[in-house]
Structure 1
Amino acid sequence: MRYADAAHAWEDSARPVAARSRVLMLRDLGEGALDAIESFALGSGAYRFSLDLHHMGGALARRATTPSAVGHFPSTVFALHTVLHLDPAQDVSAGIRAQDALLDALAPWAEQKTSPGFLTGMDVTEECVRAAYGPSREALLALKAAYDPGDMFRFALPLAPASQP
């Protein structure tokens, strides 16, 4: 499939839509993991979900040859992106519970942290952000203090200025 046709496969909207996205980094797809994904896909019912399973090919397992904020994930093999498409006219609480249940079912194969680039929505908590940056966080805070003491450059992942804990 040509990349230009990918939107048709995913039924991407030409307009912005509300969605709840969760990402789980997985060490493997051991016995039962694919069954959990298949059961979720077959039982999602009236809710529109997108599931995207990426084989990371060891990209996050290799140590960076230059300093990086991405981190090192020696055992991560897959990244599973789950997106619940929210319909304002529909009660989505059951869809949210289904999405959470899938992530809970995959917990035995999941990493305890994720890459900063995979944090979205409700996963952008101080605890998750600290874990995602890992040991790189202190160096990033020092750079931010030196080059952005006024916190002018902010983004979705809160990296508090060095003056804050």
Structure 2
Amino acid sequence: MRYAVDRGLPVAVQGTGHATAAVAAEGGVLITTAGMSAVRIDAAARTAWVAAGTRWDQVVHAAAPAGLAPLSGSAPHVGAVSYTLGGGLGLLSRGFGYAADHVRSLDVVTADGRLRHVTPDREPDLFWALRGGRDNFGVVTSMAIDLMPVTVVYGGVLVFPAERAADVFAAYLEWTATVPDVMNSSIALIATPDCPSIPEPMRGRHTVQIRIAHAPGDPAEGERLVVPLRTLGPLMDTLRVLPYTEAGSIHNDPVAPGATESGTAMLGELGPAALDAVLALAGPHAPVPHVVELRHLGGGLARPPAVPNAVGNRDARHLLNVVSRIEHSGTGEIRRAHTRLFAAMAPWSTGGRFLNFMNGRDAAGQVRSAYSPADYERLTGLKAVYDPRNTFRLNHNIPPGRVPGGD
């Protein structure tokens, strides 16, 4: 950091490389933390110490023998620290809130080259900003987080033919209005390739998939809650009691990298007209193939954390995420398709977006929408304190603003 700042070089920070925001730049410095991989579990305190380059699957397997689980995401191969700093929307979030809500402390190297141990009582402004501000304020080298008393999850996926998308989406929205906070779910419209690794009912066709993760609680209650969805008659049903170490199989996110363009929007309450707009522009007959996912929010995600942080848009009821692989269509065609879709969804949008799902050409101009206006102003002020030269700018950038309390 001192080398970069002394020479006026911009700095990007990269953990596992899952996101595309942190990139090397001509005349810049890329700091990769992938080699800093370690986990320590304190079973009595129900906490984990996690080094900067650690992936969630390492934390999950380290915590499991103590009967504990982290608030990890759907993809266990994602870096734990960067995921958490961006908010952290995971498999257990409706019950417990965002991963950022359960951080105990952070070790961070700021733009002045200082290693700081940051807690709610020690540099509370920086502690607030890091949890939601991602890599705008320094290089986080480790974090201490809460673990949850979860060993198993009732979960899996229900798969339906895309021809029934309208009925399944409508039934899903009606169902989510009735479930308790411990029921986490999403619905996705996916075009799966025709290859042997894909299960036969899904291979080479468009499908609608409802992903389920019920925890904590009695798995029998989870099974009872999904009865209305099972009565729809899925092509495939993998719902069962899973050890949390196998929870990554629910979404079964691809591990191999791929070139994609994606967009995201936080939405309020939805009805038939909203579903019609999604299916008309991103359904199985759309000229550009997409993965379209609608995540059910609310519950613990809507509640303010015990220690406030910068994660915004807690009033949203759903999150819409659209991902398109560039090799299937040109980037220009994909971007036009995304623009049409999100314009059509504007009547149901809260105006916000989720930082960890921002990728693609327009991500830089959308950062402000991840926060409330007051929180964004506070973040720019703290940026002026901790990184006044905007050294950390090869990212989802928050530029320096007016120093808090200054003229």
TM, length-normalised to structure 2: 0.34
Out of 321, 326, 331, the position equivalent to 1:86 is 326
Supply the AA of the counterpart residue of 2:258.
Answer: V
Call closer, same or farther: CA 1:161–1:33 in 2, change over 3 Å: same
Contact 1:30-1:109 within 8 A present in 2 as well = no
Out of 264, 269, 278, the position equivalent to 1:37 is 278
Deviates more, 1:47-56 or 1:96-105: 96-105
Supply the AA of the counterpart residue of 2:370.
Answer: A
Out of 78, 81, 101, the position equivalent to 2:340 is 101
Call closer, same or farther: CA 1:150–1:111 in 2, change over 3 Å: same
Identity of aligned residues (%): 32
Tell me which residue corresponds to 2:240: none
Call closer, same or farther: CA 1:123–1:97 in 2, change over 3 Å: closer
> Any unmatched runs of 5+ in structure 1?
none
How far, CA to CA, are the matches of 2:331 and 2:396 in structure 1?
26
Contact 1:84-1:96 within 8 A present in 2 as well = no
Question: What do residues 98-125 of structure 1 show as CA deviations (whole Å, max 9, x unaligned)?
Answer: 3322222211111122243343323334
Q: Is it true that 1:5 corresponds to 2:249 in the alignment? A: yes
Deviates more, 1:111-120 or 1:28-37: 111-120
Shift of 1:155: 5.0
Contact 1:62-1:72 within 8 A present in 2 as well = no
Tell me which residue corresponds to 2:24: none
Q: Is it true that 1:52 corresponds to 2:293 in the alignment? A: yes
How far, CA to CA, are the matches of 1:67 and 1:25 in structure 2?
20
Shift of 1:59: 4.2
Shift of 1:44: 2.2
Call closer, same or farther: CA 1:93–1:163 in 2, change over 3 Å: same
Out of 366, 370, 392, the position equivalent to 1:132 is 370
Call closer, same or farther: CA 1:157–1:95 in 2, change over 3 Å: closer
Supply the AA of the counterpart residue of 2:247.
Answer: Y
Supply the AA of the counterpart residue of 1:41.
Answer: G
Q: Is it true that 1:148 corresponds to 2:402 in the alignment? A: no
Call closer, same or farther: CA 1:36–1:109 in 2, change over 3 Å: same
How far, CA to CA, are the matches of 1:92 and 1:114 in structure 2?
21
Contact 2:264-2:354 within 8 A present in 1 as well = no
Supply the AA of the counterpart residue of 1:30.
Answer: G
Shift of 1:5: 3.3
How far, CA to CA, are the matches of 2:363 and 2:325 in structure 1?
19
Supply the AA of the counterpart residue of 2:401.
Answer: A
Question: What do residues 108-147 of structure 1 show as CA deviations (whole Å, max 9, x unaligned)?
Answer: 1111222433433233344x32343321123323333333
Contact 1:142-1:162 within 8 A present in 2 as well = yes
How far, CA to CA, are the matches of 1:120 and 1:64 in structure 2?
27
Which runs of 4 or more aligned residues in structure 1 lie more than 4 Å from their structure 2 counterparts after TM superposition? none
Shift of 1:58: 3.7
Contact 1:113-1:132 within 8 A present in 2 as well = yes
How far, CA to CA, are the matches of 2:369 and 2:330 in structure 1?
33
Q: Is it true that 1:67 corresponds to 2:311 in the alignment? A: no
Q: Is it true that 1:22 corresponds to 2:263 in the alignment? A: yes
Question: What do residues 7-62 of structure 1 show as CA deviations (whole Å, max 9, x unaligned)?
Answer: 7x55x362x221111001110212211122233212224x4311111101244432
How far, CA to CA, are the matches of 1:162 and 1:93 in structure 2?
34
Structure of higher CA gyration radius: 2
